[in-house]
Structure 1
Amino acid sequence: MAQRPTSVAEASPEIDAIDGMPLPRRRTDLIEQTAAEATLLDAYRSGRIHHAWILGGPKGIGKATLAFRFARFVLAHADPADPAVLAARDLSVPADHPVARRIAGGAHMDLLHLRRPWDEKNKRFKTDLPVDEVRRTVGFFGSTAGEGGWRIAIVDAADDLNGNAANALLKVLEEPPPRSLFLVVAHAPGRLLPTIRSRCRRLDLEPLTPHAIAGALTEAGIEGDPRHFAAAADLADGSLRRAVTLLRSDGVTLWRNLETLIAGAPDIDIRAAHAFADRVAARGADDALDVAVDFMTDVAGARARAALETSGIDAAARWAEAHDAVGRIVARSEALNLDRKAAVLACLRTLAEAARN
């Protein structure tokens, strides 16, 4: 769950923070993803690196961690022809390096991190990444690099851009300043504007293996029922973030409860559905709600793929629409501050209707 800032004076709300896990900008290790790392390293030391990259893949697989890892390396080694760059085996930079320390503290003047801002008035993070945030790139790239090298902007994540913000990003991508890099984190790259995709080089990261996730959970000392660690790693779909959330919200049990509910679709046990909704919509159960929504969209997506092979295009279309409808229901509920339980029940009804022949 994202950490809320403790005061108005806190400059950078940590929307991507998970208790007990290092922030991407502070994480010095990279779990798997060696192929993607090698691609960036080879491109940089070629001296002809593309100015904009889309780092694609599901949430929680290390995209932001890799973006900051690459930014550290470039800012620490401004010359691609430097012997240290040519001899490097990976993008690691010692944690005590001055560049690494400044990035970890969110204070490097040549690195701009764009993300959904904290809404102090409503005491929550904004629902999208607004155009004003993207416009910060104008002043950032319009000034001379503070340390005489590169200027790097990390967009985290591009999926959060509203329409105006996406167009503003496109404009700066079309006219890139010299010695600038854009690292665009995207959970669903295919949904970005085609014009943005055409101006970036795409680099997809692979989901983490359950073995790697289980090892990272153990190493981090994440609390949870040890009996659920392996199940959480399997259910995480390659996402370390999701595995942590599963353990902290008893997500393994939630999944089993949802499986039981959906197994009876289109007939759903009303009492069990209300019990499920009560649990995930309770005050303070943000993680459980996020997990439940992920599970419901996962179910719809999996059923759509299966239906395409076994039941035909009409059944697949119903499940695909259910997948999108769950997202719309939850987004509308959050935007309008509607009753969470009602939204969860509406999602369950949507899945039940999709199961009708």
Structure 2
Amino acid sequence: MSAADDVDGSWPLPRANPDLLGQEQAEANLAAVYAAGRPAHAWLFSGPKGIGKATLAFRLVRWLFRHGTSARVGEPSAAAADLFGDAPPPPSVSPSLFVDPGDPVFRRVASGGHADLFTLEPGIDPKRGTPRTEISVAEVRAAGAFLAATAAEGGWRAVIVDPAEAMNRNAANALLKTLEEPPHGTVLILVSHAPGMLPATVRSRCRTVTLAPLSTETIAALLPRYRPETTADEAAVLARLARGSIGHALRLASSEGERLRGQLTRLFRALPAVEPLAVLDLGEVAKGQGSGEGGFALLADLLRAWLASIVRVAGGAPPQEALASEAETIGRLAAAGGLERWLQVWENSTRLLARAETANMDLKQILLAVFLNVEAALKR
């Protein structure tokens, strides 16, 4: 979860988050790599959005800053030197990369004030005040120059790119030079929700760590920690809707998420009648201030959950557990349309939503097209 994804401040940004739940295996694997003396100069942390990739990236960087000076960062030893090896590792590590939040290194990284850390994010357009979508070639070149300089604190220098797919083509090409000739004692971490969008030449020069979606149990346990007002029952429902992402669950639990869920539920309850203005208003809420693309992605996931449950019931299975409270509405719609029609609705709708999320299209019109598609299936 990058800075732009922090919905309301209830969830700590990755650079300031001391916790990493549900990704203990990935963390232990990283610790083992450094313990074995074979660190990578470039990592690619991949997996769905909101599962802890950026948090793990900052966790690794903090650990290197805190413990990496126990090994010199000059020429690599024979044991450490391979395609990915740069600096010798510390003599020993634990399965955890934890650094105490009270440690000065933690505080400097959290505040953005550590002299040996450079973070590349799309950020906010200073002129428009809206989220940017790209990382430019100039920014990537600045990161390369940063890595080539001498470490201010005599240890590691680090660059985190989040998300890496935000680099435009020229920026990705500029990154290749750094990947091909990495300075000693440096680490470059690419955080990617969609690694397939990165050039193969970039992916091939990184060591990949694939993070798995979080379990519903982990998400249900995390939600009350950051939203104490969330009841156990609410946390269980949101965890099932979240598709393995704590970031997604927190958006669902936000006031905006509650509004989206409520309006979408009312639209489905009103079917087969479709009120176009109500659908367009729902799209406007999803695009509202503070939500941007994330708001539409949230709405699209909720819509998919509804349609998937209707298809399941039409095929003789129970609805998704997260929508069990709407079993009556789902059952009525499933019976009215039949399995074949709902499968067509599912196929057409998911294709439309995917296009809306990957292309510059009018999201409200896409949403209206989905509901008109549903209406047509029910009125045949």
Is the TM value for this pair above 0.5? yes
TM-score where L is the length of structure 1:
0.78
2:165 to 159, 164, 167: 159
Q: 1:270 aligns with which of 270, 274, 296?
A: 274
Ranges of 4+ aligned residues in structure 1 off by more than 6 Å: 259-264, 297-304, 314-317, 350-355
Q: Does 1:33 align with 2:23?
A: yes
**Which of 327, 330, 333 is the aligned partner of 2:357?**
327
Partner in structure 2 of residue 23 of structure 1: 13
Structure 1 residue runs of 5 or longer lacking an equivalent are 3-13, 305-309, 334-339
The correspondence for 1:181, drawn from 184, 187, 190, is: 187
Q: Is the 8 A contact 1:326 1:347 kept in 2?
A: no
Whole-angstrom CA distance in 2 between matches of 1:302 and 1:180: 48
Aligned to 2:367: 344
Instruction: Output the amino acid matched with 1:322.
Output: L
Residue deviations 1:285-306, cap 9 Å, x none?
A: 73654421344567899999xx
Question: Any conservation in 2 of the 1:280–1:288 contact (CA below 8 Å)?
Answer: no
Tell me how far apart the structure 2 counterparts of residues 353 and 197 of structure 1 sit (CA, whole Å). Answer: 44
In 2, Cα distance between equivalents of 1:91 and 1:353:
55
2:99 equivalent in structure 1: 93
DSSP-derived class of the 2:19 partner: coil
User: Counterpart amino acid of 1:327?
Assistant: E
Q: CA deviation at 1:82?
A: 3.6
8 Å contact from structure 1 (residues 159, 186) kept in 2: yes
TM-score normalised according to structure 2 size? 0.74
Distance 1:153 1:185, change over 3 A: same
User: Share of identical aligned residues, percent?
Assistant: 37
Structure 1 contact 116–127 (Cα < 8 Å) conserved: yes
The structure with more radius of gyration: 2
Q: Does 1:230 align with 2:260?
A: no
Q: 1:270 to 1:52 in 2, by over 3 A?
A: same
| Cα contact 2:32–2:93 (8 A) shared by 1 | no
Distance 1:29 1:148, change over 3 A: same
Gap change, CA 1:172 and 1:126, over 3 Å in 2: same
SS at match of 2:188: strand
Residue 324 of structure 1 deviates from its aligned partner by 3.0
Greater shift, 233-242 or 137-146, is seen at: 137-146
Tell me by how many angstroms 1:62 deviates: 0.4
Cα separation, 2, equivalents of 1:301 and 1:126: 33
User: 1:20–1:222: 8 Å Cα contact kept in structure 2?
Assistant: no
Change over 3 Å in CA distance of 1:303–1:205 after alignment to 2 = farther
Mark the CA change 1:16 to 1:113 in structure 2 (over 3 Å): closer, same or farther. Answer: farther
Change (3 A) 1:262 1:178: farther
Contact 2:42 2:207 in 1 (8 A): yes
CA contact (8 A) 2:27 2:95 kept: no
Gaps of 5+ in 2: 72-87, 312-338
Deviations 1:297-348 (A, max 9, x none): 67899999xxxxx99xx9798666434312145x444xxxxxx644532455
Secondary structure, aligned partner of 1:281: helix
